[in-house]
Amino acid sequence: MSRRVTQRDIARMTGVSQATVSLVLNNRTGDDVRIAPETRQRVLDAIRATGYVADPVARRLVSGRNRILGVFTYEPVFPSTAADFYHPFLVGIEQRAEQVGCDLLLFTSRADSRRIFHADSRIGIADGTILLGRRVDRDDLARLVGEGHAFVSVGRRDDAGGPVPYVGADYPAAVAALVERATGLGHSRIGYLGTGGPAESHADRLRGFFSAGPAAVVHLPPPSTGWLDAIGRERLTAVFLEEYADAVALVAAARERGLAVPGDLSVVALGEPSGLAPVDGSITGLRIPRREMGWQAVDQLTETIEGGGAVQRLLPCTVHPGATLSRIL
């Protein structure tokens, strides 16, 4: 196997000092750095010709940066298919990381009891970390904030001893707009089916539901068994479901019982398909800006690494019109 090219090799090839090669590699300029343009170009040409790759440890000693961004999750979110819920987040993260010249490091060890901080934690290898997934350990979150680690959460997180930087979806505004659309179609008995927490994304959906006005009257938590009976007892004409899979199941159960959807019952999904669950493109619901959230998480993390403060940003959701929300006949 051929020997790895070093900075010393580049210096020897171009007739300059190793220090000059290091300055060019790290794009150092200014009054205190005097490198002739033709010399800088000669070094860059040699780097390209040899395929030289800077040693990350040595580069960290020079610049304090690895240009490595970590991605950590407490749950197995790395997708096996493009239909997976987390796939667009990861696409956005990868695309933007490539554009800003950073590599990604996926933290996947200790899958049985994932924690950011443990005896074999390698979080320090990365310049900063993106947290991805529905659940985040509160103690880990507080330590990240307290110790001043560079990180950003994909999804809104409650403060943990200080503001938590995040890029999230504006569920309250989107859900409230959908409730208003339903009331505009004549629905006055509307139900919400789901937990409403403790995950922040679920709590935000429920908060948006109740903020929309007096028509949002019923919260039916899981389990889903008996939902249709409860819907009948409450005389609901429209239901909003936290989980997409539950919306698909409810539509199927309603039609099996002889109810017309949306003629007898309107159904709105407040999530998106996940994993191998059935997909019904006719269901009215939200579209979460997942790729954009991953993209902006990289931008926000790189800004934090360079000394920026904690930023909390919510991106608007869009509505998939579908065919399961209609005017009461």
Tens digits of residue pLDDT in 43-79? 888 888 887 766 554 454 445 577 899 998 877 766 6
Q: What are the tokens at 217?
A: 């009257």
Same fold, 68-168+290-316 and 171-288: yes
- CA 211 to each of CA 171, 234, 286, 308: distance values in angstroms, whole numbers, following the listed order: 12, 20, 17, 33
Beta-bridge mates of residue 166: 153, 312
CB atoms within 10 A of CB 262: 25
With cut-offs at 50, 70 and 90, classify the pLDDT of residue 147: confident
* pLDDT at 119 exceeding the cut of 80: no
The per-residue pLDDT for 84 is 79
Least confident of 6-15, 32-41, 114-123, 201-210: 114-123
Alpha helices in 189-289 (DSSP H): 200-211, 227-233, 244-256
Q: 124 by DSSP, 3-state: which?
A: helix
DSSP state of 129: E
Q: Which CATH superfamily is domain 68-168+290-316 in?
A: Response regulator (3.40.50.2300)
Distance CA 74, CA 174 (A): 27
Report yes or no: 180 and 212 within 8 Å, Cβ to Cβ: yes
Report yes or no: 196 and 165 within 8 Å, Cβ to Cβ: no
- CA 78 to each of CA 30, 50, 75, 112, 218: distance values in angstroms, whole numbers, following the listed order: 43, 34, 9, 15, 35
Q: What are the tokens at 309?
A: 């403060």
* pLDDT at 131 exceeding the cut of 80: yes
* pLDDT at 116 exceeding the cut of 70: yes
* pLDDT at 218 exceeding the cut of 70: yes
Mean pLDDT: which of 23-37, 63-77, 128-142 is highest?
128-142
With cut-offs at 50, 70 and 90, classify the pLDDT of residue 167: very high
CATH architecture designation of domain 7-63:
Orthogonal Bundle (1.10)
The per-residue pLDDT for 22 is 76
Q: What integer is the mean pLDDT of 209-229?
A: 76
Vertex 261 angle, CA 259 and 265, to 5°: 75
Query: 171-288 has which fold?
Result: Rossmann fold (3.40.50)
Q: 218 by DSSP, 3-state: which?
A: strand
The per-residue pLDDT for 222 is 67
* pLDDT at 151 exceeding the cut of 90: yes
To the nearest whole number, what is the mean pLDDT of the chain? 84
Please state the domain extents for the chain: 7-63, 68-168+290-316, 171-288
* pLDDT at 16 exceeding the cut of 70: yes
Cβ neighbors of 177 (< 8 A, separation 6 or more) are 319
* pLDDT at 86 exceeding the cut of 50: yes
- CA 300 to each of CA 137, 138, 273, 305: distance values in angstroms, whole numbers, following the listed order: 21, 21, 27, 9
Residue 178 is inside which H or E element, if any?
Answer: helix 171-184
The dihedral region occupied by 311, where left means phi > 0, alpha psi between -120 and 50, and beta the remainder, is: beta
The per-residue pLDDT for 29 is 64
* pLDDT at 31 exceeding the cut of 60: no
* pLDDT at 289 exceeding the cut of 90: yes
* pLDDT at 296 exceeding the cut of 60: yes
Cβ neighbors of 325 (< 8 A, separation 6 or more) are 178, 181, 182, 185, 238, 262, 266, 267, 268, 284
Report yes or no: 266 and 239 within 8 Å, Cβ to Cβ: yes
Cβ neighbors of 24 (< 8 A, separation 6 or more) are 35, 40, 43, 44, 47
Distance CA 165, CA 304 (A): 9
